[in-house]
Chains A and B, each alone.
Chain A
């Protein structure tokens, strides 16, 4: 199951990770268990953040920015990761 991640525009790869390990992977993230492990730890840590005693984490998506962008979210006990190209469109300065 790819959970529809392959249809995301300009995606370079994806991972679907559960408590037990990698459920699906493709593209530049195919079989990348190391990245999956690192991302799992990051997401676990970030999901502990709370704003002013709120019940839920204060974010829906986490982005790791470098030459490309890793986008991460959690749904139904699974972590979804997609690697996308950065925007090539720079703001036009007039």
Chain B
């Protein structure tokens, strides 16, 4: 199986990640440029009090950087879209996905390799000799028998009691 695209969906944006990792773009343009993405609403740096210790500041900056790299799909703190905005967005996504899947479905299955240029001759040739078929059947039967005899030879107890004095 070949994975062509990965789609990450969160509250505000859908990103299509093709095999070329250089291309990261929103599927549809962000309709409201003023609204902040979900993962940065908690980390507005404007409100950091100056009384925090260095440790606290370090921790905050680490968490901030991590949050920038993580897309939270749980949407626990949803900003809340109005019904018409939601429906509008859903429609835009559907249209865009339909467009993309049309171009994807045009791929044809892998063509069969040509085994011969003389199909008539190949199919009219002698059959596999009966003795060869017998021999292969016997070998297969032996192999099956051998495989079915594979078993674990238990020598010791797997679980032992520790004698603690």
A and B: interacting chains: yes
B114: Cβ under 8 A from any A Cβ: yes
Docked Cα-Cα span, A17 to B45, in Å, equals: 67
- A87 and B130 within 8 A (CB): yes
CB distance from B116 to the nearest CB of A (A): 5
Using an 8 Å CB-CB cutoff, how does the interface string of A22-63 with B read, 1 for contact, 0 for none? 000000000000000000000110010000000011011101
- Closest A residue to B136 using CB positions: A65
CB distance from B50 to the nearest CB of A (A): 65
- A8 and B115 within 8 A (CB): no
Chain A's interface size range is: 20 to 34
- Closest A residue to B126 using CB positions: A87
- Closest B residue to A55 using CB positions: B113
Partner of B114, one of A3, A59, A74: A74
List B residues at the A interface (Cβ < 8 Å): 109, 111-120, 122-125, 127-131, 133
- B113 and A75 within 8 A (CB): no
Residues of A within 8 A of B113 (CB): 47, 56-57, 74
Docked Cα-Cα span, A67 to B22, in Å, equals: 59
Label chain B's interface by main secondary structure.
loop
Docked Cα-Cα span, A8 to B120, in Å, equals: 8
- B133 and A74 within 8 A (CB): no
Query: With A5-B120, A8-B120, A73-B122 given, is the CB distance from A60 to B128 under 8 Å?
Result: no
- Residues 67-94 (chain A) with a chain B CB within 8 angstroms: 69, 71, 73-80, 82, 84, 86-87, 90-91
- A73 and B127 within 8 A (CB): no
Residues of A within 8 A of B116 (CB): 60-61, 73-75
Docked Cα-Cα span, A64 to B37, in Å, equals: 61
Query: With A74-B114, A76-B114 given, is the CB distance from A65 to B123 under 8 Å?
Result: no
- Closest B residue to A82 using CB positions: B123
Residues of A within 8 A of B128 (CB): 63, 65, 69
CB distance from A41 to the nearest CB of B (A): 12
- B123 and A80 within 8 A (CB): yes
25 contacts between A and B (CB under 8 A): A5-B120, A5-B123, A7-B124, A8-B120, A8-B123, A9-B124, A44-B112, A56-B113, A57-B113, A57-B115, A59-B115, A63-B127, A69-B128, A71-B122, A71-B127, A73-B123, A74-B112, A74-B115, A75-B116, A76-B114, A82-B123, A86-B127, A87-B127, A87-B130, A91-B131
- A86 and B123 within 8 A (CB): no
